[in-house]
Structure 1
């Protein structure tokens, strides 16, 4: 009989997830954003703001924080693309002489120089190469464009649903928290308080670490691109900042820019940029990111790293938040976590709420 009582809710949960499978991403993002920004909402309410006004202002702030960088990226992209078009036009008229380092390549130097002289060193060769390459890629580009419109509309719908759900959660927050707590205590009265404590700590730590590191690396490497003489340093800095949200994105970015400088015949600038990027990446990944992400739940560096990589490889961007949380649960258990520690966690939560009210 006990197994039957567990089987029916499990079947219902699986059926519900299958029915809502296309919208689980929106619900998950709404939940993550609510957990991340909940302290801000509560602080505004404690200062005398109405819950409706606090929810509206916070939602508008989130939209602006997402839309603002995108508008800057597109404006910068338009300016830089025009400059790139003018540069390509000049290079197409005069031809691009083979760089000196090409002759020093082992084994393939003669073939590489012959190909370069045939396709790029002659006037008009760059334009012909681009047309040939674009012609080969045209079938793939056409099929991509056909699916682009429906994909954009679907993602727009999912974003709208995520923001709408987030707004409702802001308004009905206490009732939502009560409902989730009641359900969690029915499922696992011993371990749910521990998970309830670890989840917001790990999610907020991950959000703080990812956003802070992305902003830092975008600014620092953008300045490094400008010092090294890379083309379009502002655009490359913004792209690097976005890529830095994903583990491995920043090194890929500054490595590609270093190779671009090397191809332009600036080996010293390329080596300097790559060395600075590697040093900056070491400092960020060794000290800054683990400190911000793992400090709140006492996670070591490798646990944070594998949690981020494993999460993003299996669940996409949402996995960046789920991975560290699962690692936090694992290390809590490995360190001898027991249901008895629930009382301590509940005491800490009560003290934290008391401190908030006093403030």
Structure 2
């Protein structure tokens, strides 16, 4: 009978845990990003709390307000920038419909193998522009529906971001108590190795955060240098947008590709080609080198495991996989290492020596 009572209690506890997870499921993404933001800036929280003589609530409120300003200002600038580009694009379409295309640039005819065909296509579009627009009109509705769906997803992402910026306050305020709760839970599950795995997960997330933010800062700096050399107006604002968009996969091309197209449209072909090459090999290329290096630096994971964790995690879980992938592989790698360590390092009986491997 006692065994049946214990089994019933376990079933009830599992049901309660499942119900709690069901309630929190819509907020998993916001909770995840709030935890990542709090963890990444926890040294600032400690310094600010010490400067404010232990007033944790005030320190948490100041850092939360700082995150809101840091995130909200670039997003507002991005919104105005996108609105300007949409307005310019609509004006360009109207001008092309009325006046036609400008004369083809001189360099277009010099493109190897396909230069003549590109010039002929340019002239044909110029002569039959109205007919082309009539042909493309049925697809405009589909593009509009696609943009509407993407806008809805972006709007949902903005709501999650706003919620995470609110939740980060509670992670700042209750962070030590949460960490102690997680440590006690791990001690009940895995015993004395709980502290090791908590430090392993914390170190892996810290390295991933440093890699993501460090790479974003490097890409923003390189983007500002490229925009300044090419003579793009608002290089500082575009650099800040590059920093924000560097936090998502394939984000920086959303900044330097329109800037390159703007240069080419205004006849700055040399600077346009320079900025395109700079964007592909420098701004976007540094992501493939610097991020894996920063994530693997200071850890025991092999670089190939880090790369698989980063890219595989993104493919499996989306942007959250950037943090989940390396963390899962780090924990699995450590668990397997701990499991095989006693067998691999088992002491040999006295008087015996391990045979040398065959040549």
Q: TM-score range by the shorter chain?
A: 0.7 to 0.9
Displacement of 1:35: 2.0
Matched with 1:61 is 66
The 8 Å contact of residues 73 and 238 in structure 1, kept in 2 or not, is answered as no
Displacement of 1:183: 1.8
Distance between the aligned counterparts of 1:252 and 1:158, measured in 2? 22
Matched with 2:102 is 96
Of the candidates 121, 129, 140, which is equivalent to residue 137 of structure 1? Answer: 140
Q: What SS class does the counterpart of residue 162 from structure 1 fall into?
A: helix
Matched with 1:114 is 120
Q: What SS class does the counterpart of residue 245 from structure 1 fall into?
A: coil
Q: Is 141-150 or 201-210 further displaced after alignment?
A: 141-150
**Which 5+ residue runs of structure 1 have no aligned equivalent?**
341-359
Larger Rg over CA atoms: 2
Displacement of 1:56: 0.8
Distance between the aligned counterparts of 2:9 and 2:122, measured in 1? 69
Displacement of 1:173: 3.2
Displacement of 1:120: 3.1
The 8 Å contact of residues 292 and 306 in structure 2, kept in 1 or not, is answered as yes
Displacement of 1:160: 4.8
Q: What SS class does the counterpart of residue 299 from structure 2 fall into?
A: coil
Displacement of 1:295: 2.1
Deviations 1:200-223 (A, max 9, x none): 222222222212321321231233
Alpha-carbon RMSD: 4.3
Displacement of 1:196: 1.0
Q: Is 23-32 or 294-303 further displaced after alignment?
A: 294-303
Residues 106 and 246 of structure 1: is their aligned pair in 2 closer, same or farther, counting only changes over 3 Å?
same
Residues 150 and 245 of structure 1: is their aligned pair in 2 closer, same or farther, counting only changes over 3 Å?
closer
TM-score by structure 2 length?
0.72
Residues 145 and 49 of structure 1: is their aligned pair in 2 closer, same or farther, counting only changes over 3 Å?
same
TM-score by structure 1 length?
0.72
**Which 5+ residue runs of structure 2 have no aligned equivalent?**
342-359
Matched with 1:325 is 327
The 8 Å contact of residues 308 and 324 in structure 1, kept in 2 or not, is answered as yes
Displacement of 1:63: 0.8
The 8 Å contact of residues 99 and 264 in structure 1, kept in 2 or not, is answered as no
* Alignment size in residue pairs: 335
The 8 Å contact of residues 245 and 252 in structure 2, kept in 1 or not, is answered as yes
Of the candidates 16, 21, 25, which is equivalent to residue 25 of structure 2? Answer: 21
